[in-house]
């Protein structure tokens, strides 16, 4: 499925009620770091993160209904992966190739359909496509719930300013590796959903 995203085109795009926006390059780096650290700690191989399982966890983190049965968003969940032009895959996720993900969907018994699309970040230097796309989602009449997985070092300042101004229009959840404070969003820890998708169990860490 072709998906174009300049700010103007995003304004015209028809979205689902719930949208997850992911900086794919960033989350792939985080998954790699977690893999290296936990393989050393647990002394076992850590598999690539199950992409569908991770997205379900992310959607639950951002659900205003807590994922209760019968509260799946109308029309399912839309997932947009932003990635650099030369990247072909997320090496630490399965599936991870962007050509294989783009336009594909899967169904979760609890949350319904997830429709995935990928987008190359080809905006001019100095512009931030993630922030532009987030702004378009906040301005969309169709969207009610937004879950953001940004690179906070790159996009955090501009993104927090945007959310402070416009975040209250929607139910907004920001996933990062540490708690984030600010106005217009709630904060959840990204690492928990990734650990679950990698099959890392709490009892292993306790031992």
Decide if 93 contacts 31 (C-beta within 8 A). Answer: yes
Query: Rounded to whole angstroms, what are the CA distances from 55 to 7, 30, 133, 146, 203?
Result: 25, 15, 19, 13, 23
Contact 67, 111 (CB under 8 A): yes
**Beta carbons of 3 and 21 less than 8 angstroms apart:** no
Q: Over the stretch 110-125, which tens digit does the pLDDT of each residue have? A: 899 999 999 998 766 5
Residue 150 structure tokens = 């940004």
In whole angstroms, what is the distance from residue 100 CA to residue 86 CA? 16
More confident residue, 166 or 3: 166
- DSSP-derived pairing of the beta strands 105-108 and 112-120: antiparallel
* First-last CA distance in the chain: 45
The mean-pLDDT minimum among 34-38, 61-65, 107-111, 147-151 falls in: 61-65
175-196: pLDDT as tens digits:
999 999 999 999 999 999 999 9
The residues, ordered by sequence, that sit 6+ positions from 2 with a Cβ below 8 Å of its Cβ are none
**Residue 67 neighbours by CB distance under 10 Å:** 17
Over residues 48-76, mean pLDDT? 81
Residue 205 has a pLDDT of 77
Residue 5 — very low, low, confident or very high, per pLDDT cuts 50/70/90?
very low
pTM over 0.75: yes
Q: Let me know how long the chain is.
A: 207
Instruction: Please give the C-alpha separations between residue 95 and each of 18, 79, 139, 180, in angstroms, as whole numbers.
Output: 22, 14, 31, 29
């Amino acid at each position: 499925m072709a998906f174009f995203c300049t700010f103007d085109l995003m304004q015209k795009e028809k979205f689902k009620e719930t949208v997850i926006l992911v900086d794919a390059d960033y989350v792939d780096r985080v998954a790699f770091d977690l893999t290296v650290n936990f393989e050393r700690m647990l002394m076992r191989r850590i598999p690539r993160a199950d992409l569908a399982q991770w997205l379900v966890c992310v959607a639950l983190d951002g659900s205003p209904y807590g994922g209760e049965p019968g509260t799946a968003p109308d029309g399912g969940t839309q997932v947009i992966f932003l990635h650099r032009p030369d990247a072909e895959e997320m090496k630490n996720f399965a599936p991870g190739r962007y050509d294989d993900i783009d336009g594909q969907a899967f169904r979760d018994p609890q949350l319904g359909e997830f429709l995935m699309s990928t987008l190359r970040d080809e905006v001019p230097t100095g512009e931030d496509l993630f922030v532009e796309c987030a702004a378009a989602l906040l301005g969309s009449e169709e969207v009610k719930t937004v879950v953001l997985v940004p690179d906070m070092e790159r996009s955090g300042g501009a993104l927090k300013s945007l959310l402070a101004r416009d975040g209250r229009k929607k139910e907004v959840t920001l996933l990062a590796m540490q708690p984030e404070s600010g106005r217009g969003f709630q904060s959840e820890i990204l690492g928990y959903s990734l650990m679950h998708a990698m099959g890392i169990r709490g009892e292993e860490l306790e031992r």
